[in-house]
Amino acid sequence: MDAAGLLTAYERMAVIRRTEKAAHDLFLQGLVKGTTHLAAGQEAVAVGASAALRPDDYVFATYRGHHHALARGATPQECLAELMSRATGLCKAKGGSMHLTKAATGMLGSYAIVGSHLPMAVGAAWSARLRGTDQLAVAFFGDGATNIGAFHESLNLAAVWKLPVLFVCENNLYMEYTPIADVTAVPRPAADRAPAYGIPGEVVDGNDVMAVEEAVERLARRARGGDGPAVLEAATYRHFGHSRADPAAYRPAEEVERWLAHDPLDLARGRLAELGVAEATVAEADDRARAVVERAVEAAKAAPPPEPREALADVWADGGAAWRT
Amino acid sequence: MDAAGLLTAYERMAVIRRTEKAAHDLFLQGLVKGTTHLAAGQEAVAVGASAALRPDDYVFATYRGHHHALARGATPQECLAELMSRATGLCKAKGGSMHLTKAATGMLGSYAIVGSHLPMAVGAAWSARLRGTDQLAVAFFGDGATNIGAFHESLNLAAVWKLPVLFVCENNLYMEYTPIADVTAVPRPAADRAPAYGIPGEVVDGNDVMAVEEAVERLARRARGGDGPAVLEAATYRHFGHSRADPAAYRPAEEVERWLAHDPLDLARGRLAELGVAEATVAEADDRARAVVERAVEAAKAAPPPEPREALADVWADGGAAWRT
Amino acid sequence: MADVITYREAVAEGIAREMRRDTSVVCLGEDIGAAGGVFKTTTGLHEEFGPERVWDTPISEQAIVGAAMGAAMTGRRPVAEIMFSDFLACCWDYLANEIPKVRYMTGGQVTVPLVVRTANGGGLGFGAQHSQATENWALTVPGLKIAAPATPADVVGMMAAAIRSDDPVVFFEHKALLATKGAAPPPGHVVELGRACVVRPGDDVTLVALASMVPLALKAAEVLSGEGIEAEVVDLRCLVPLDAATVLASVCTTSRLVTVEENPYQGGWGATVVSIVADEGFGLLDAPVRRVAAECVPLPFADALEEQVIPTVDKVVMEVLRLAAY
Amino acid sequence: MADVITYREAVAEGIAREMRRDTSVVCLGEDIGAAGGVFKTTTGLHEEFGPERVWDTPISEQAIVGAAMGAAMTGRRPVAEIMFSDFLACCWDYLANEIPKVRYMTGGQVTVPLVVRTANGGGLGFGAQHSQATENWALTVPGLKIAAPATPADVVGMMAAAIRSDDPVVFFEHKALLATKGAAPPPGHVVELGRACVVRPGDDVTLVALASMVPLALKAAEVLSGEGIEAEVVDLRCLVPLDAATVLASVCTTSRLVTVEENPYQGGWGATVVSIVADEGFGLLDAPVRRVAAECVPLPFADALEEQVIPTVDKVVMEVLRLAAY
Ligand SMILES: Cc1ncc(C[n+]2csc(CCOP(=O)(O)OP(=O)(O)O)c2C)c(N)n1
Ligand SMILES: Cc1ncc(C[n+]2csc(CCOP(=O)(O)OP(=O)(O)O)c2C)c(N)n1
Ligand SMILES: [Mg+2]
Ligand SMILES: [Mg+2]
């Protein structure tokens, strides 16, 4: 990743950070119903990986998926409109925060059942192989997902069929409120399991966008070349609580501090300085990010609610919902 | 295991072998309906493990579970009567071949959904811990079960809670008709996965009843002592096809021959000779085994079918089946 | 104890009462310990009973419910939490194939005295995968008792019955009711499973409802009363055992039946109730039987869409008025 | 092709026809390749289409169906086999929460053109965990099409429709019908999903049945004919789309309805059918609606017990006679 690439990545991360902040504020204002699982602090995983992927690759993510949708081509406006139940939402306000999806750019969905999307990513990789493309599929998931059965079945099947799929674990140390270390038999919940499937398992600093890009690029090349899947465990941290108004009181202050001092945006800013990018240039990127998100908030606020008839559309491929004669 | 112990083990294996043969013949005679999954060839796993267990330990097995039921206190007559749909069957003819269970002697069931009983064994071990006993739970399962999600969840939970449970895989090289090696990412489907849960994973000759006894005894002691679960992978082979009339044509003749030459009963006979047990003594054990199974067949044949009203008994703990007023 | 408690508090209270009575009762689930549960329905249990009776688990629904089964078969009374009822799908094998069948298929050799508790239903804006009313899944499987209380007192009383039951019980705690308040039940309060409750008497039409649909049906009944129609509202409380007798007795008076179901029409419990009445109570009926249920679509996120899909007071009132005009 | 084929052969034939037409059709499942499937319902596919179109999998039901979903979302038409329908419980999350919802909750961005085939029902003596009629599980979930053919020709025709469908279809192949024979369908035979079939006309009572219950209902109709009662037998073929119109039209003639269901009474599809008729067809009914369904117990192993539990010709005849006497 050169300076220009890093600047682009930085700006994307800044857009995500501000979108997450906006989502948080809008939630507190009562403009976002239900729940949100913010990814602030984890931007580098999405943006770093995205930088290494091709436009025709497939991405599958979780309910904590705003960053992946945004990194993969969804606009802040589409995302915020979805959260705010507007007709202009990414999923026509049928999905909500947990289900952001932008199929047109290969972001094949955010799934709210832990681990459920790993087999789907395996299937997308299998499909690429069947169609003779060298597309890649990437599943992003949390540390907690490594203890569910679908994780095991997916890694084994992908390994046996040598499919072009990457399993990227965002290890943010916690499930909802319980530390992953309390309920997992190995220290590295994802990487330490890779040998059980005869595939590489690596650990990367998930807050270092360049390191993530490098690792994903390398493992992706390998997978496209027919050498099979890999596990990448990205060490990271969420800035907010698990969801909504969770104050995350269960986290030691010292730990929070340490991780806030290892912020992905700060890290990238430091690197940009090292690479000789002027502070003013970075500030311009920040300004653009702020402007984009501000406009997005205004546009989403101004957008209409969905038409009531939308409730009975989109179950079936014919666009309808008829289940009987 | 001394000579006397081995002779007892040998006789038990002989009883199992003859019961399986009887089940096969009765099936061909149309006296056993449905299906059977015979364990002939795998006797040493059940008998060796059983010899190392205490009467109050818990055993959970699969649809291929005749040997475990018999090793764990069920009589050939109860088992064959169950297969032949008799009122005197082990489960009152409600279970059938796939569900042999003898709760009174800690044989807590045979389950026909691959992998489903592993979490149950974990739960029984947890219960022992909660009640402050040092009972052990053992789950026996096939090589094919190592690729299902419940396997993964069970091993992790057992390891995290350091429960007294042993996971004993009977690796007979095949699932139904597909070699396990074709669909598993590591050579030792069970043992090679143990490190993913930070627990010991051992391989043992599953046809050597003494070796099985030794390994189970050692791992059981460890588990009872609070050092947590372990995986034991027993290499073995089934003499019959997967089920019913499967001629197992998918198995190379050379492989079958090699394994038939490594028969658990023959091995034990050889060891008995080495230990100086007279051939006549072994022949007497064989005679007793034959007589027991012959009587069992006759008794089962003579037993009545279940009373029709049994169909509506035993759903609920009150003995009935009422679901509405 | 306060005179009034919330449904949420009633869950923890109900469990705590049984844990005090019986040391064999033990809880397991995700984040149920020190965190007190995602819905704060296990608040205080970890403090009172300690980590040897309240166990945090990994995200392993099969291991949670499967281990509960194994423990129940060996002398404990586990209370397993599956955080959202949608996730029952992740351990469905245990609910569908193992727990309800093992007693029968072993000829009665074992019992499985466990409770699987779960937060059920919509109303909190959690979207399609966290809002389903899944009690109908369980209804397809003989061998499970199915409890779905509508009030705090019933939560406590039915929890007592569920935990004391030697049969497996799936206990549906309704998310939309968690914040609702009601009279605190007296000590020792037990509500036998399988007894419906006539929560409002009326002569003109019988409304049969469950969980969150009970207050909704009551509201509809108030509106209808203004129109001169007196609805009898039956809170079914359990799907199994199903108190068909109470429903039939009510229809005997009213001659008209409407079920009010949060779930989609297809495969909903109301259909089973209706089929019993259309058979055994056919002669009692003066008018078509109607089911006010959700549309047959996943639950959409936006409120504007959700209200198109789920039953509302207005929809119930409208259907009853149409029926009255029959 | 022979004039007569078995239901078993029809499965493989139905899949093969579509695999020839459309190279995007691909199969996966346990032992479906060289072994031809445990029920020999995929015999010949591996030989004809090779390992790149017919994939043997590990015992990983979640990975099988989840991977099928991912492949369906990205341009393939996977046909996934789940060996016994009971094992749908091991991947229920995909059937209940993922496959039927993803199109809706993404606002129509993706389609999931897949078929999950599975051997359903009892009759072969496989015991409680391998004999269930689980189509009712699927009925509780909007967003799945549910096919359950009763004849070899319907197997081929409905398989064609299922594989061509851009919607997910759960395709229930009945174990007890595998050995039955019927007319071989002509090339290009397609049976639109959601069209019931009146397989026997009659004026006195409507029997609605599915899969293995269709021949049973037909046998009962023959017996009843001897008693002077002419039953109209409707083969429902699909639960979703549900052809309620055909049922209502039949009841319009007969004024009497009996459903014949292999599944337990509680939560069975017949309840949904009955609730529609008790509403929209209430005025047509001359007598109580009756459901002949299985007892609400797991399926016992012994034949002597099984016949107590499941519907038999005798039970259907007896119920209809009782109804006729109403
Ligand atoms: C199968 C399942 N079980 C439980 C939950 C509830 N739940 C939602 S998020 C979560 C924690 C997940 O932790 P992790 O995988 O580390 O992801 P993170 O939230 O940290 O990104 C849990 C338990 C769920 N959605 N799905
Ligand atoms: C969840 C599930 N999937 C598939 C099956 C069908 N099935 C029964 S036995 C079997 C093979 C199991 O192989 P293995 O675990 O090696 O045990 P073995 O039969 O060799 O003893 C399969 C696939 C099942 N019973 N349960
Ligand atoms: Mg996490
Ligand atoms: Mg095997």
CA–CA separation, B130 vs C116, rounded Å?
A: 19
Q: What is the mean pLDDT of residues B295-324?
A: 98
Q: What is the mean pLDDT of residues B83-87?
A: 98
Q: What amino acid occupies position B33?
A: K
Q: Which residues between 142 and 161 in chain D have a beta carbon less than 8 angstroms from any beta carbon of chain B?
A: none
Helix/strand/coil for B313: coil
Task: Supply C43's token pair.
Answer: 């608040």
Average pLDDT by stretches of 10, chain C with 326 residues: 91 98 98 96 98 98 99 98 98 98 98 98 94 98 98 98 98 98 97 98 98 98 98 98 98 98 98 98 98 98 97 98 92
CATH architecture of D197-324: 3-Layer(aba) Sandwich (3.40)
User: Quick one: which H or E segment has residue A231?
Assistant: strand A230-235
Are A164 and A129 within 8 A, CB to CB? Answer: yes
Who's near A316: CB < 8 A, 6+ residues apart?
Answer: A322, D103, D166, D167
Q: Over the stretch B247-269, which tens digit does the pLDDT of each residue have?
A: 999 999 999 999 999 999 999 99
Interior/surface letters B64-85, b for 16+ CB within 10 angstroms, e for the rest:
bbbbbbbbbebbbbbbbbbbbb
DSSP state of D285: -
Q: Which residue has the tokens 């009629």?
A: D133
Of the pLDDT bands very low, low, confident and very high (cuts 50, 70, 90), residue B245 is: confident
Who's near D305: CB < 8 A, 6+ residues apart?
Answer: B93, B94, B306, B308, B310, B311
With CA atoms as reference, the chain C residue closest to A185 would be C58
* pLDDT for res D2: 77
Which residue segments constitute the domains of chain A, with CATH numbers given? Answer: 30-73+102-276 (3.40.50.970)
CA–CA separation, D30 vs D28, rounded Å?
A: 7
DSSP state of A31: -
> Is C301–A34 a contact, with Cβ atoms under 8 angstroms apart?
yes
- D neighbours by CB contacts (3+ pairs under 8 Å): A, B, C
Ligand nearest to the CA of D82: 2
Average pLDDT by stretches of 10, chain A with 325 residues: 97 98 97 96 98 98 98 98 98 98 98 98 98 98 98 98 98 97 97 98 98 98 98 98 91 97 98 97 98 98 98 98 97
From A42, A118, A26, A30, select the one nearest A79 (Cα to Cα): A26
* pLDDT for res A244: 85
* pLDDT for res C2: 77
CA–CA separation, D140 vs D269, rounded Å?
A: 9
Dihedral sign, Cα of residue B77, residue B80, residue B86, residue B92 = positive
- Total length of chain B: 325
Q: Residue D240's Cα: distance from chain center in Å?
A: 10
Q: How many helices (H) and strands (E) does chain B have?
A: 10, 6
* pLDDT for res D261: 98
Who's near A98: CB < 8 A, 6+ residues apart?
Answer: A34, A35, A37, A63, A65, A110, A112, C126, C127, C129, C130
- Residues of C labelled as active-site residues: 61, 130
Select the residue from A116, A151, A186 to test the B interface by mutation, using most B Cβ atoms within 10 A.
Answer: A186
D241 preceded by a cis bond (ω within 30 of 0): yes
Q: What is the pTM of this model?
A: 0.98
CA–CA separation, C94 vs C76, rounded Å?
A: 17
Q: Over the stretch C155-178, which tens digit does the pLDDT of each residue have?
A: 999 999 999 999 999 999 999 999
The pick from B114, B118, B151, B233 for probing ligand 2's pocket by mutation, whose C-beta has the most ligand atoms within 8 angstroms, reads: B114
Average pLDDT score over chain A = 98
Q: What amino acid occupies position D169?
A: V
Beta strand residue intervals within chain C, DSSP E: 4-6, 25-29, 54-56, 77-84, 115-120, 145-147, 169-174, 181-183, 197-200, 205-209, 231-235, 238-240, 257-264, 290-294
Interior/surface letters C45-60, b for 16+ CB within 10 angstroms, e for the rest:
bbeebeeebbbbbbbb
The pick from A110, A175, A237, A242 for probing ligand 1's pocket by mutation, whose C-beta has the most ligand atoms within 8 angstroms, reads: A175
CA–CA separation, B257 vs B243, rounded Å?
A: 20
Residue B94 contacts D where some CB pair is shorter than 8 Å: yes
Start and end residues for every CATH 3.40.50.970 domain found in chain C: 4-183
With CA atoms as reference, the chain A residue closest to B229 would be A185
Task: Supply C176's token pair.
Answer: 């939309």
Average pLDDT by stretches of 10, chain D with 326 residues: 91 98 98 96 98 98 99 98 98 98 98 98 94 98 98 98 98 98 97 98 98 98 98 98 98 98 98 98 98 98 97 98 92
Q: Which residues between 57 and 86 in chain B have a beta carbon less than 8 angstroms from any beta carbon of chain C?
A: 58, 60
CA–CA separation, D40 vs A184, rounded Å?
A: 42
Q: What amino acid occupies position C64?
A: I
> Is B323–C102 a contact, with Cβ atoms under 8 angstroms apart?
no
CA–CA separation, A223 vs A125, rounded Å?
A: 10
Helices C213-226, C313-324: axis angle to 10 degrees equals 50
Start and end residues for every CATH 3.40.50.920 domain found in chain C: 197-324
ipTM associated with this complex: 0.98
CA–CA separation, D128 vs B118, rounded Å?
A: 19
D230 is catalytic: no
As a CATH number, domain C4-183 is: 3.40.50.970
Are C186 and C156 within 8 A, CB to CB? Answer: no
DSSP assignment of C240-291 equals ESB-HHHHHHHHHHH--EEEEEEEESTT-HHHHHHHHHHHHTGGG-SS--EE
Q: Ligand 3 center to residue A227 CA distance, Å?
A: 29
Task: Supply A12's token pair.
Answer: 């994307």
With CA atoms as reference, the chain A residue closest to B184 would be A160
CA–CA separation, A127 vs A131, rounded Å?
A: 6
How many Cβ pairs within 8 Å bridge chains B and C? 165
Radius of gyration of chain A (CA): 19
